[in-house]
A and B are shown apart, each in its own frame.
Chain A
Amino acid sequence: MSYCVNCGVELDASAKKCVLCDTPVYNPKQQNEDAPTPYSDRVVLPPKVRRRFSAFLFSVILLLPNIVCLLIDLLVSKENGLYWAHFVNTASLMLWILFVLPFLFQKARTFVLILVDSLAILGYVYFFYHLFATREWFWSMALPLVVVLGVFACVTVEVFERKKPDWPVQAAVICFQIAVYAAVCAVALYLYFGTPLSLAIPVVIGACSLPVGGFFIYVKNSRRMRAWLSRRFFV
């Protein structure tokens, strides 16, 4: 029998290290390579939830009112063709891409989903631009705003999922992104309207979120401040 020199517990004959403290086991008098392990090595993972079936079910539920709307619109406004059903159809398509499509993949890549979602939102906005365009607002405003939003979403996922930062860093990243996005909005609005007044709101947003972001960075580096916050704001 072997004992852990660190914890003092007796170890199983098959143990190569102490499970409590990771200290390797070396017993020259008892080198039992073939001793049976106390537990099986066989890991049985239960089958995953049938995500595709749920996606199919939601798709059918979403499809039914769309077909009904399409038929009603066709029957009521026979001469002018479709009058309003395409508003319902395009909105449903966008919602389907945003909320149902991810369930069709067992393990969807987040960046691909963000790209697809951005394209869906752009397509939906372009539909209205195509119908009611009076000025070039899609190219100068909608497109840059959606693209920048998509890029920010990718950055957030990258930072949060891969680097797993502490909560003050997460909060700071979100605050800084809000400030930068407000600046992008300001530029887009200025390019579209050409008036400096349109800069006011983004400046206010930036002036609020930047100091808050800075505060969270300070919180991250200060143990005293974190302790003070947890004392003050416990629930």
Chain B
Amino acid sequence: MAKTKTQNKFWFKLDNAGKVFPGQNTSRWSNIFRSTLVMEEKIDPAVLEQAVKDVLPRFPCFDVCIKSGFFWFYLEKNPHDAPPVCEDINNPCYRVKFNENNRFLFRVFYRENHIAVEFFHALTDGAGATTFLCTLAAQYLRLCGHEIGVGGNVLNINEPAPESELTDPFYDYEGKHGRSGRSTRKVYHYRGTPLPPHTVGIITGIMPTDVVLKKAKEYGATATEYLSAVLLYCFYEQQKKETRRENDLSVQIPVSLRKPFNRKTLRNFTLTYSIRIDPSLGEYTLEEFIRQIMLNLRLVNNTKNLQAMVASNLKLEKGAMRYLPLFIKNLGINISFRLTGEHSTTVLFSNVGKLNIPPEMESHVQRLDFLAGPGKINGVRVGCGSIKNVLTVSFLDICKETEIERRFFTTLVKAGIPVKIVSNR
């Protein structure tokens, strides 16, 4: 396999979005997320280990370890072959330490018929991680003797990685466009009894994609708009039950920029929108929530706005602060994250969308579970993904109580969507 110029690179700069994550990393919390493919057959760890080794050269931007420079962290080619393939655990998404896991910033797990990967967010976003996972699962199936082609989220591992996958497209929008501010106003946060450190409660709801889409269409919304509105409505009802002062409610929705800007990068290329609803304006119904979120999201989700947000993020990186030594930057990032980070978000709803896999692979795959990593003060974070006709919504909770999850899934059941629940609790 011939290597491109970028693929031969020994080191990479962290992308614009990824620059903050190493600074936020502590011994108790990391910004990490997980994608799991549930297959039809039981997983053989030896074959999976070989598949990881086969696939990794196709993803040079993941075959790295993180190092600290004087001004910034950077990614350097990892001297080890591959990360160890471990048996799955009950407490996924625990903190990342840069010198563990053969210094790789992603972990690979297997269990029964599950293949799971956990990525440190500095490396990539949900789209990059699921592409890696699908390519890995396809190679695993090939090693098991199945004929699997390429296409969609399965990349051809016999081709070198093109430049477009490895470059950071954020820099193309530097200084060209207007800048957009972001709100740091505090919002409602659900509080519960915390679980022990490094443990999480997961509840995944499995439902048919076509039924969810049909229900969303009844309101003229997309699946993301409908599900995020139902989710935020659960928090609204929960807040009404509590005696605390009424705060705004805000749902944070990451949006992949690949489609609007026609990019194929495997690195972080995502921005988040926060849609806010003020409950002090009066009583809301679920229909009003769906309408508010749908209209707000469509209003801000356009290339002009996205460019302004990208330019605003780049301004932070390219300003005078770039000359500060790394330890001061880390301290600043850490303090700013503690003070503002999740304070302006009630809940995160991350939807990686529908994955496209080659038709011959479909019969080997049951579903995709996408877990957004644990929050620091957001008790619940929600991930969503779909493959074939199966859509999953996964709650990752750092609290013992399951009130929000119960409200969410019973609302869907009442709306006529059949939901199956699996959990680690």
Which A residues are closer than 8 A to B by beta carbons? 4, 7-12, 15, 18-21, 36, 38-46, 49, 223, 226-227, 230-231, 234-235
Q: Which 6 A-B pairs have the closest CB atoms?
A: A39-B424, A38-B422, A20-B406, A10-B420, A19-B423, A8-B413
Which B residues are closer than 8 A to A by beta carbons? 27, 87-91, 94-95, 97, 100, 111-112, 186, 197-199, 202-205, 243-245, 402, 405-406, 409-410, 413-414, 418-425
A42 vs chain B, min Cβ distance (A): 5
**13 chain-A/chain-B pairs, Cβ below 8 angstroms:** A7-B413, A9-B421, A11-B420, A12-B423, A20-B405, A20-B421, A39-B111, A40-B111, A42-B87, A45-B199, A46-B100, A230-B245, A235-B186
Query: Is A10 in contact with B421, judged by CB distance below 8 angstroms?
Result: yes
Given known pairs A20-B406, A21-B406, A231-B245, the reply for A12 and B89 (CB within 8 Å) is no
Query: Is B421 in contact with A46, judged by CB distance below 8 angstroms?
Result: no
Residue of A nearest to B95 (CB): A46
A46→B97 CA distance, assembly (Å): 9
A130 vs chain B, min Cβ distance (A): 42
Q: Which residues of chain A are within 8 angstroms of B243 by Cβ–Cβ distance?
A: 223, 226-227
Partner of B88, one of A18, A21, A39, A226: A39
Query: Is B198 in contact with A46, judged by CB distance below 8 angstroms?
Result: yes
Chain A binding surface SS class = loop
Q: Which residues of chain A are within 8 angstroms of B202 by Cβ–Cβ distance?
A: 39
Chain B binding surface SS class = loop
Q: Which residues of chain A are within 8 angstroms of B97 by Cβ–Cβ distance?
A: 46
A123→B66 CA distance, assembly (Å): 48
A117→B39 CA distance, assembly (Å): 58
Q: Which residues of chain B are within 8 angstroms of A230 by Cβ–Cβ distance?
A: 244-245
Q: Which residues of chain A are within 8 angstroms of B425 by Cβ–Cβ distance?
A: 19
B378 vs chain A, min Cβ distance (A): 19
Residue of B nearest to A49 (CB): B27
Q: Which residues of chain B are within 8 angstroms of A42 by Cβ–Cβ distance?
A: 87-90
Query: Is B90 in contact with A18, judged by CB distance below 8 angstroms?
Result: no
A39→B109 CA distance, assembly (Å): 12
A45→B202 CA distance, assembly (Å): 17
Query: Is B203 in contact with A40, judged by CB distance below 8 angstroms?
Result: no
A37 vs chain B, min Cβ distance (A): 8
Q: Which residues of chain A are within 8 angstroms of B87 by Cβ–Cβ distance?
A: 40, 42
A234→B245 CA distance, assembly (Å): 8
A128 vs chain B, min Cβ distance (A): 37
Query: Is B88 in contact with A7, judged by CB distance below 8 angstroms?
Result: no
Partner of A9, one of B90, B111, B419: B419
Q: Which residues of chain B are within 8 angstroms of A12 by Cβ–Cβ distance?
A: 420-423
Query: Is B409 in contact with A20, judged by CB distance below 8 angstroms?
Result: yes
Residue of B nearest to A4 (CB): B421
Most buried by B among A11, A15, A39, A230: A39
Partner of A19, one of B90, B111, B197, B421: B421
A155 vs chain B, min Cβ distance (A): 25
Partner of B402, one of A10, A19, A43, A49: A19
A123→B406 CA distance, assembly (Å): 58
Residue of B nearest to A227 (CB): B243
Q: Which residues of chain B are within 8 angstroms of A49 by Cβ–Cβ distance?
A: 27
A45→B244 CA distance, assembly (Å): 35
Query: Is A43 in contact with B199, judged by CB distance below 8 angstroms?
Result: yes
Q: Which residues of chain A are within 8 angstroms of B418 by Cβ–Cβ distance?
A: 10
Q: Which residues of chain B are within 8 angstroms of A38 by Cβ–Cβ distance?
A: 204, 422-424
Query: Is A44 in contact with B410, judged by CB distance below 8 angstroms?
Result: no
Given known pairs A20-B409, A20-B410, the reply for A39 and B421 (CB within 8 Å) is no
Residue of A nearest to B112 (CB): A36
Partner of B423, one of A39, A43, A45: A39
Residue of B nearest to A36 (CB): B112
Query: Is B421 in contact with A43, judged by CB distance below 8 angstroms?
Result: no
Q: Which residues of chain A are within 8 angstroms of B245 by Cβ–Cβ distance?
A: 227, 230-231, 234
A4→B421 CA distance, assembly (Å): 10
Residue of B nearest to A17 (CB): B425
Residue of A nearest to B91 (CB): A43
Partner of A7, one of B27, B204, B409, B424: B409
Given known pairs A19-B423, A40-B111, the reply for A9 and B205 (CB within 8 Å) is yes
Q: Which residues of chain A are within 8 angstroms of B409 by Cβ–Cβ distance?
A: 7, 9, 20
B21 vs chain A, min Cβ distance (A): 18
